[in-house]
Amino acid sequence: MAVRAAVLPAVDAPLEITGIELAEPGPGRVRVRLAAAGVCHSDLSLSNGTMRLPVPAVLGHEGAGTVVSVGEGVTRVAPGDGVVLNWAPSCGACPACARGEVWLCADALSGAAAVHARRADDGTGLHPGLNVAAFAEETVVPASCVLPAPEGVPLTDAALLGCAVLTGYGAVHHSARVQPGETVAVFGVGGVGLAALQSARIAGASRIVAVDVSPAKEELAVAAGATDFLLASDTTPREIRALTGKEGVDVAVECVGRGATIRAAWESTRRGGRTTVVGIGGKDQQVTFNALEIFHWGRTLAGCVYGNSDPARDLPVLGEHIRAGRLDLGALVTERIALDGIPAAFENMLAGKGGRALVVF
């Protein structure tokens, strides 16, 4: 029986909402009925070619749902279990995994090369965008791509744990390692930025500055924990220094992926501070530094992949924060949509509008 899905037929082509046929799960695979899927900027980056993976593909990588059936040898989950999809499963054998850096696994996206499903109308083979193909009513994934959903968390909310929250939380706690009393600036108040703001509050930051191009984001940012909100401009670093005793923040987290924003985050960080880049930019986005400023400022500039997170380790921790009321997943969602609302959600992201759009099945 066909299920509906959002298919990217080619790079830069419009998404098509169409029926797809999924095979029953073979050995080591799991079939999941989606409850919800978040619309992430990475999906947009796949659709426009900023990130290169095989097409045609079913997009979507941030989701949660219920196990429908499992293939031979699967013991970690059973039919009826609530699960969060993990788009970047670690192989456990490459050098990065051996070092414990599972977020850098060399084989994490190898599953994207496989044929995942077929179009119901013409039989065309479809790849799973970022491994899990969450923009569909159902999906079939390797068992390594599912993790038990935290107890007591609705699956429609748990979908956000699969990318936005793991990334934003990890950027603050694992990459930047924000300490109680430190000051933090978050550039970009989308889904990941809102998660980073909440995470900075959880970490005990004394001042949390949110920066965005849209004044409409101020209310969202303050609700997430921002103590200050600034409209992005050429003077943003100067304004942040004025808020922090002319020093700059201890930590800046960049969630946009633009060269100019990365540079602004760097300039907003105090001498000896840390700048963490979460946003995924294109190859044309260049950032330049001169040798003297690198020496003089003594700052650390670090990339951050998937929040430097280990989902198996971090999901239970996030579950505790949610149950204790410290982390509000619902506050990240600004729009609940159907599958056919994804193209409009992409346009909103390009325009800098809203937080996280959530496809609810």
- Do 23 and 158 fall into the same domain? yes
- Do 11 and 155 fall into the same domain? yes
- Do 214 and 234 fall into the same domain? yes
| Number of domains present in the structure of the chain | 2
Joined together, the tokens standing for residue 286 give 């260049």
Residue 74 lies in a domain: yes
- Do 246 and 356 fall into the same domain? no
**Predicted local distance difference test score (pLDDT) of residue 20:** 98
User: Other C-beta atoms within 10 Å of 241: how many?
Assistant: 17
Nearest to 288 by CA among 309, 263, 317: 263
- Do 203 and 141 fall into the same domain? no
Q: Whole-model pTM?
A: 0.95
pLDDT grade for 64, boundaries at 50, 70 and 90 = very high
Q: What is the CATH number of the domain that holds 299?
A: 3.40.50.720
Residue 320 lies in a domain: no
In angstroms, the Cα distances linking 164 to 24, 309, 356 are: 29, 12, 9
Residue 269 lies in a domain: yes
- Do 44 and 117 fall into the same domain? yes
Residue 310 lies in a domain: no
Reply yes or no on whether the pLDDT at 52 is more than 90: no
Reply yes or no on whether the pLDDT at 282 is more than 90: no
3-state secondary structure the chain: CCEEEEEECCCCCCCEEEEEECCCCCCCEEEEEEEEEEECHHHHHHHHCCCCCCCCEECCCEEEEEEEEECCCCCCCCCCCEEEECCCCCCCCCHHHHCCCHHHCCCCCHHHHCCCEEECCCCCEEEEHHHCCCCECEEEEEHHHEEECCCCCCHHHHHHHHCHHHHHHHHHHHHCCCCCCCEEEEECCCHHHHHHHHHHHHHCCCEEEEEECCHHHHHHHHHHCCCEEEECCCCHHHHHHHHCCCCCEEEEEECCCCHHHHHHHHHCEEEEEEEEECCCCCCCCCCCCCHHHHHHHCCEEEECCHHHCCHHHHHHHHHHHHHCCCCCHHHHEEEEECHHHHHHHHHHHHCCCCCEEEEEC
Longest CA–CA separation in the chain, Å: 64
pLDDT grade for 345, boundaries at 50, 70 and 90 = very high
Reply yes or no on whether the pLDDT at 49 is more than 90: no
Residue 353 lies in a domain: yes
133-161: average pLDDT: 97
- Do 155 and 100 fall into the same domain? yes
- Do 102 and 48 fall into the same domain? yes
CA 193: distance to chain centroid?
10
**Predicted local distance difference test score (pLDDT) of residue 349:** 86
- Do 99 and 206 fall into the same domain? no
Domain end marker among 305, 320, 342? 305
Reply yes or no on whether the pLDDT at 1 is more than 80: no
Residue 345 lies in a domain: yes
Q: Which residue range forms the structural domain that includes residue 80?
A: 3-162+328-360
Q: What is the CATH number of the domain that holds 149?
A: 3.90.180.10
Joined together, the tokens standing for residue 92 give 């456990």
Nearest to 346 by CA among 80, 31, 42: 42
- Do 108 and 207 fall into the same domain? no
- Do 151 and 187 fall into the same domain? no
- Do 7 and 156 fall into the same domain? yes
